[in-house]
Structure 1
C-alpha cells in the first residue's frame, strides 16, 4: 500500500514537471506580470504608406499582431474576423497559431478564410469580413495575424491607439509620407504615456515613428466613457498635397470638411416630389396657423411613420437618399430621415438645414478634428426667433424642444449652401424638463397598504417609457410592465387597476392613475405600528457607484424625481415619532427627504436630481457619501401608538 502511494505521488510529480516544461519562458514571464489578464499583445506593428500616384493620394497600411494567451479562455479565442469595406480594401491576410511543444514554438497556419457580408435585420452597410479559426489554440499559445489594407479616400485615415483593454508589450507605428503631402497629427489622452517619437527623412520621404513598451491594460467600464475618450491616440490628418505645382486641399480645416460634405448632398432631391407626399404634408399643416406648429406636425409625422434602419453602402453612408424613395419605402437611416424632413419643410415653405454631428461617444470638436471621424450622425436643424431646434427624426416620441439624448452638448455642423456653414452646440437639457413625479395616498388596512397614485412623466423620462411600452399591446402586458416600473415598498406590491392619459403625446405629460396594494407592509409590536414611508428607497440606487470603479460614470440625461406619499393616520392612533428631514446638495446631485404632519395625514416627500451628464472619477467618493446619507435615511420609520 505504501509503495503504491509513493508511486502515485511520483507520477503526479512527473506530470507536474511535464506540465511546467510545456510552459514557454514568455508565458511564465507575462503570466506572472499580468495574472488577471486573458492575453498580452506581444507585438503590435502598423506601417502606413502615403504617396502620390497619378496626381492622387494612395494609402496602404500593413498591420502585424501577436497575442499571447494567458489563461484557459484560450479555447474561446479561436474565432477571428477582419472587416473591410469599399473605403478599406483588404489586399492580403495571413494568420497562424504558435504552440509551444516543450522546446520550441510550432507554427500552424490558417488555411481556410471565409468572406461574408455583415448583415442583420435592421442594419446594412457594405462592410464585409474575412472569418477564420486559429488551429490548436491553448493556454500559452500565440496568435499571429498579418494583413494589408488600402484606404481609398484620404479623408479616412484611422486613429492610432497606444493602449487597449489588454497589456501592450511592444508597439511600433511608422508613417511614411511623400514630401509633397502635408500631414499633421492631433493628439488625444497622450499625457503621461511614455511613447518615444522620432521624425526622419529618407530618399525624399518623411518618416514618423512611435514606439511603446509595457503599456498596462486600460479599463473600459459599463456606462462609462467610450474608448476614444480614454485610450491615448493620435489622428493623422492630410491637410493638402502638391500636384502639378498646385496645392490640393484635403482637410486643412472645417471649411474643407464642409465643402466635401456639401458636394455629397447638393444634388439630392432633384426630382419632382411624390404627389402623395405633397398631399400628406399639406394636410398636416392645413389647419396650423403658426410656422412652429407646422414644423411640429411634420416632425412628429416623420418620427411616427418613417422607420429608422441604418443602411449604408460606400458613399451612401454619407449621401442621403431622395425623399421620394424614403417616403415610398417608409424607412431610412439618419440621413434619409433628414432628407424627407427637409423636403416636407420645403413644401410648407419652411427652411430646414441638413446638419452633421457626432454622438456623445465621440470626443472630438470640429475645430480640432475636421475629419469624418468627428461625426457619425445627421439631423435637421430649424431656426425660429433666434432659437435653433435640433430635429432627429430617427428618435421616437421626441418633442420639438428636446434633442435626442445622445447628441446633448455636441457640436453641430449646419449647412447653409455652398461654402456657408456654422457650428452650433446642442444644448444639454435641464433636469426639470425630464420629470418623474409620483404622488400616492395610502392608508393601512390591518398591516397592509391600500393606495391610489398618479404618475407623471415628461421629457426623456416620458419618451423612454413610451419606447418600452409601444410593443406591449394588451392590458395584461401593460399591467405586468407597470407592476415592475411602479413597484414600491416591497415585492408584494400589486397594481389592481390603472388608467393611462396622454399616451404617446409629444406635448403633454404622460400620466398613469393607478390603485395598488402592498400586503403585510407595516410592522406591529405591542400597541405600536412601524411603517416606512420611503416606498421608493431603491430608485436612487440606480446611480450607485462601485468602490473599485476606475473611470467616469456617464448618464443618458439629467433628470429630476419627485415622490410624494400622503399617509392617512389610522383612527385612534397618534404619531409618536417622525424621522428627521435630510438634505444633500452639491455640484453633481441634490436629494432630500422630508416629513410633515398635516391634520390626520403625514406628508412625506423625496426629491432627487442629477446635475451633470458625467460623474468624473474625482467626485465618486463624495457621490457615494451623499448616497450613503440618503440610504441611511431610507431606513427610518414612522411610529404610531
Structure 2
C-alpha cells in the first residue's frame, strides 16, 4: 500500500496530457488531525533512498465514500529530493473526484505553502499496458520547487467516490509492511454498519468503538521498523502487519454478487449464434465441442482489457466481445461459458487469484483478492475441468488441457457457498537427451540434442516458436549452449515436431564443438564436465540455512536429463547411483557404462513434489540441495601420459588396496584374539557341556545375521569397499578433519567385517572368552557410532540427525543396554561358555 503510494513511475503510456482543474478545499471536518515527530525513535541506519516517512495517515468515511490521506516525508540526503518533490496521486475519473488540501514545505519550523492547483497536470498512465490492460485511471502530478535536504514535505488529499459496481458493499485491506522505517501510521474507518475485521499473523488490530450511531475502527502505531523480505518467499505468504476489513458476511454473499455481474441479459446476436451452431454441428461429442469452443476463445479472441470504472469488475456482453474479437479475462471467460451453455454444456465463470493460492481461504470475502477469471466445465459424466481462456495455443484433448496452479477458485454458481479447491494434474515434463560423440581425446565433439516438452512446457515452447523467427531461435539456442561449451557452433536450424493431441513439442538440434577438453585440476590431466542444465536452471542454492519464511519452489515440474557420451576408447568408469527422496523433491542420478560400445550414460531425474518448503523443513532441504549440488556435475579426465580414467579412479584403486590391507591386519589381530583365554569359574552345580539355549538362541541368531547386514550396508554405501573414501582427499572439498574421520570410519568398518565372524566362531565353540569379547565389541560399537554420527553432523554442518538415523541409534542403545548386562551377569551364560583355547 505504502510502496505504491510513494514510488514515482517514470515510464508512462501517454494517452492524454492536460492541465486539469484540481480542486483545492479545506480538510473535511470529520478528519482527526494527526501530529508527528520530526525525529522519530527509529533506527536511522535503516533509512534508504534519502527519505524518511514521518507520517502516513489514511482515514475513511464509508457512508460518504470519502478517503482522506496525509503523507509527511523528511529528506535526509540529496538523493531523496527527486522523489520527495514529485507528488503523484491516481484516481478514476469515471467515479472519483480528487481534491487537495495542502502541499507544504516545513523548513526550520516555518511552513511554506506550495499548493498551486494550476500547476497540476493530469496524465493518463497505463502501468499494465505491456499486458494489454488499460484501466483508464488518471494521475494528478505536480513538482514542488525549491526543495532542500532537511526539508519536511507535507501533502494531503481526499478521493471521493467508490466504484458503483460494489453498491453497498465495502472491503479494504492494509498491508502495513514497508522496507523503510516509518515514524507513525494512523488508519481510521467510520461506518454506520458494523464491519468484519481480520488480522493475519500479527499483533496489530483495530480498536472498535460505537458512538453517535457509528462504528469507528482505528489503528495507531509509532516508530515502525523496516520489514526485511527474504528472497524466494512465495507471493501467497502474507507476513506480519496485514489487516483487512469489510462488510461481506460470507463467500456465498460474494458469489451472489458475482453471479449477478456475470448474468447475460441480452439475446445472443445472430452472428454469435451462427458460430455456436457451426461448433455444435462440426463436433459430435461434448468433449470435442468443449475443445473447439475453448480453442476459438483462446486463439481467435485476442486479449485486451479496457477496465476503467465498472468494467474493472463487470464483463462485457458476449455479443460485443464476439464482434470486436477482443476482451479481458472475464470477457473471454463469459463468452466461453455462454457458448458452452448454449450447447447444453454446464459451465461457470470462476474468480481466482494468481498469487494468493491457499491463503485466500484464510481471508475475509473481498472481490479485490481476485485478479483473474477462468472457467469451470462439467461434462456429461460429471467430470470437472478447468480452463484459462487467456492462454493461447494450448495443446491436449479437452480433458488434458493444462490449467495453472491457482489452487482455489470462487465458482460463480447460484447456491455455492465457498471456495473450491483445484488440483493440478500435470507433471510439466522436459525430457532432454544430450548425445556427445567424442572424435578423439583432446579434440572436439559432435553434440546431438533431443528435447521433448510436455503439457505446460509444451504450451510455453510452442508460444516461443510462434513468436520468434527460426533464425533468431537458432542464434539464441547457440548462445545458451555456449555458456557450457565455449567453442560450439550450430550445424543447422532446430527441427521441431508439434503434436497438439498429446501436447508434446519435440526439438532436434546438432552442434559442433571444436575443443571440448579443458585442463583438469589433476596434474597432467585434461577433462570434460557434463552438467544437466535443465535441472540447474530450476534449482538454485539458497544463500544461507537460516530462514524465517517459506521457500518457494517451481511446481509442478519434472525434469529428465540423459547425457550419453560416446568415448573414443575404453574408459575406467565406476557405475554409481545417488538418490534423494523427500516430501519436497525427488532426485535420482545413475552412472552407467556400456563397455562393448564405450558408451557412458548419465541419467538425471528431478521432480518437485510441493510448491514450497516450510521453515521447519528448510534446514533438511538445504542440506539435500548441498548433496545434490555435489552430484550434478560429472567429470571425465584423461592422463596425458596415456591412461584413461574417470576422475579419481587411481585413488579409488589405491583406496581398495588399503581397505584390503586393513582387513588383513585385523584378520591377524583376530587370530591373536582367538587365542585369548579366560579361566572360567566353574561351580559344582554347573551342568556339564550345557547346550546353547534360552535367550542365547536369540543372541546367536542376531550374531549370524549381523555380518550379512553389515556387508549389505557397506555395499549400499559403497564409499569404503569401492575406494571412494580416498578420492575425497583429492577433491576441492577436502578438509583435514573430515579426512581423518573417513580414515577412522574405514578402519572401523574393516574391523567390524573381521571381528563379527570371529565372535560367531567363539559363540558356536562356547569359548570362555565370548561373553567379554562380545560385550566389549557392543560397547565399542555403540560409542563409535554415537561419536561418529555427531562428529559427521558437526563437520558437514547438517542440522542434527535424520529420523531414520535417530531410530537406528536408539535401537542400538537399547539392545546394547540389554545384551551387555546379560552377557556379564547371567548364570546361563557363565554355565554355557566354559571351554578354553586348545
What is the distance in 1 between the residues matched to 2:277 and 2:264?
Answer: 25
1:26-66 deviation digits (Å, cap 9, x = unpaired): 46975745255643321122222234xxxxxx332212121
Tell me by how many angstroms 1:199 deviates.
3.4
Partner of 2:429: 435
**Secondary structure, in 3 states, of the residue corresponding to 2:142?**
strand
Partner of 2:105: 98
What is the distance in 1 between the residues matched to 2:455 and 2:82?
Answer: 43
1:390 aligns with 2:386: yes
1:131-150 aligned within 5 A: 131-150=141-160
The equivalent position to 2:365 in structure 1, one of 342, 365, 370, is 370
**Secondary structure, in 3 states, of the residue corresponding to 2:503?**
coil
The equivalent position to 1:173 in structure 2, one of 177, 187, 192, is 187
Using a 3 Å threshold, how does the CA distance of structure 1 residues 456 and 72 change in structure 2: closer, same or farther? farther
> Are the aligned partners of 2:518 and 2:527 in contact in 1 as well (CA < 8 Å)?
yes
Tell me by how many angstroms 1:151 deviates.
4.2
Tell me by how many angstroms 1:291 deviates.
1.2
Partner of 1:18: none
Tell me by how many angstroms 1:606 deviates.
1.4
Using a 3 Å threshold, how does the CA distance of structure 1 residues 391 and 583 change in structure 2: closer, same or farther? same
The equivalent position to 2:528 in structure 1, one of 503, 528, 531, is 531
The equivalent position to 2:71 in structure 1, one of 58, 61, 65, is 65
What is the distance in 1 between the residues matched to 2:232 and 2:300?
Answer: 31
1:116 aligns with 2:130: no
Partner of 1:265: 262
What is the distance in 1 between the residues matched to 2:301 and 2:205?
Answer: 51
> Are the aligned partners of 1:490 and 1:521 in contact in 2 as well (CA < 8 Å)?
yes
**Secondary structure, in 3 states, of the residue corresponding to 1:126?**
coil
**Secondary structure, in 3 states, of the residue corresponding to 1:327?**
helix
Tell me by how many angstroms 1:422 deviates.
5.9
Partner of 1:107: 112
The equivalent position to 1:39 in structure 2, one of 51, 61, 70, is 51
> Over the residues paired in the alignment, what is the CA RMSD in angstroms?
3.2
Partner of 1:323: 318
Partner of 2:452: 456
Using a 3 Å threshold, how does the CA distance of structure 1 residues 325 and 199 change in structure 2: closer, same or farther? closer
What is the distance in 2 between the residues matched to 1:550 and 1:71?
Answer: 32
The equivalent position to 1:255 in structure 2, one of 231, 246, 252, is 252
Using a 3 Å threshold, how does the CA distance of structure 1 residues 235 and 314 change in structure 2: closer, same or farther? same
Tell me by how many angstroms 1:256 deviates.
1.9
1:131-280 aligned within 5 A: 131-152=141-162, 153=166, 154-178=168-192, 181-190=193-202, 193=203, 195=204, 197-220=206-229, 224-226=233-235, 229-238=238-247, 251-268=248-265, 270-275=266-271, 277-280=272-275
Number of aligned pairs?
582
Partner of 1:295: 290
1:416 aligns with 2:413: yes
Using a 3 Å threshold, how does the CA distance of structure 1 residues 630 and 373 change in structure 2: closer, same or farther? same
Partner of 2:301: 306
Tell me by how many angstroms 1:521 deviates.
1.4
**Secondary structure, in 3 states, of the residue corresponding to 2:139?**
strand
1:514-555 deviation digits (Å, cap 9, x = unpaired): 111233112478996633232538734653333387654434
What is the distance in 1 between the residues matched to 2:357 and 2:137?
Answer: 21
TM-score, length basis structure 1: 0.82
Partner of 1:353: 348
Larger RCO (CA under 8 A, 6+ residues apart): 1
> Are the aligned partners of 1:118 and 1:127 in contact in 2 as well (CA < 8 Å)?
yes
Partner of 1:244: none
Tell me by how many angstroms 1:420 deviates.
5.1
Tell me by how many angstroms 1:589 deviates.
1.8
> Are the aligned partners of 2:251 and 2:417 in contact in 1 as well (CA < 8 Å)?
no
> Are the aligned partners of 1:97 and 1:134 in contact in 2 as well (CA < 8 Å)?
no
Tell me by how many angstroms 1:421 deviates.
6.2
1:611-622 aligned within 5 A: 611-622=609-620
Higher deviation after alignment, 525-534 or 580-589:
525-534
Partner of 1:638: 636
Higher deviation after alignment, 27-36 or 78-87:
27-36
Tell me by how many angstroms 1:340 deviates.
1.8
What is the distance in 2 between the residues matched to 1:621 and 1:540?
Answer: 21
What is the distance in 2 between the residues matched to 1:309 and 1:263?
Answer: 23
> Are the aligned partners of 1:596 and 1:602 in contact in 2 as well (CA < 8 Å)?
yes
> Are the aligned partners of 1:355 and 1:379 in contact in 2 as well (CA < 8 Å)?
yes
Using a 3 Å threshold, how does the CA distance of structure 1 residues 37 and 131 change in structure 2: closer, same or farther? closer
> Are the aligned partners of 1:438 and 1:454 in contact in 2 as well (CA < 8 Å)?
yes
1:67-109 deviation digits (Å, cap 9, x = unpaired): 2234443133133311222687244224535354xx4455351
1:464-511 deviation digits (Å, cap 9, x = unpaired): 223333221x32112123324566732433332244444383633100
> Are the aligned partners of 2:205 and 2:219 in contact in 1 as well (CA < 8 Å)?
yes
1:381 aligns with 2:406: no
The equivalent position to 2:588 in structure 1, one of 558, 581, 592, is 592
Uncovered stretches (5+) of structure 2, i.e. residues with no partner = 1-36, 639-643, 645-838
1:125 aligns with 2:109: no
Tell me by how many angstroms 1:367 deviates.
7.3
> Are the aligned partners of 2:236 and 2:357 in contact in 1 as well (CA < 8 Å)?
no
1:143-175 deviation digits (Å, cap 9, x = unpaired): 322111234344243213333222122112222
Higher deviation after alignment, 477-486 or 512-521:
477-486
Tell me by how many angstroms 1:512 deviates.
0.4
Tell me by how many angstroms 1:440 deviates.
2.3
Tell me by how many angstroms 1:604 deviates.
0.9
Using a 3 Å threshold, how does the CA distance of structure 1 residues 99 and 594 change in structure 2: closer, same or farther? farther
The structure in which a higher percent of residues are strand is: 1
Uncovered stretches (5+) of structure 1, i.e. residues with no partner = 1-24, 52-57, 239-250
What is the distance in 1 between the residues matched to 2:40 and 2:274?
Answer: 73
What is the distance in 2 between the residues matched to 1:556 and 1:541?
Answer: 7
Partner of 1:626: 624
Partner of 1:84: 91
> Are the aligned partners of 1:97 and 1:137 in contact in 2 as well (CA < 8 Å)?
no
Rg larger in 1 or in 2? 2
What is the distance in 2 between the residues matched to 1:99 and 1:635?
Answer: 61
TM-score, length basis structure 2: 0.64
**Secondary structure, in 3 states, of the residue corresponding to 2:183?**
strand
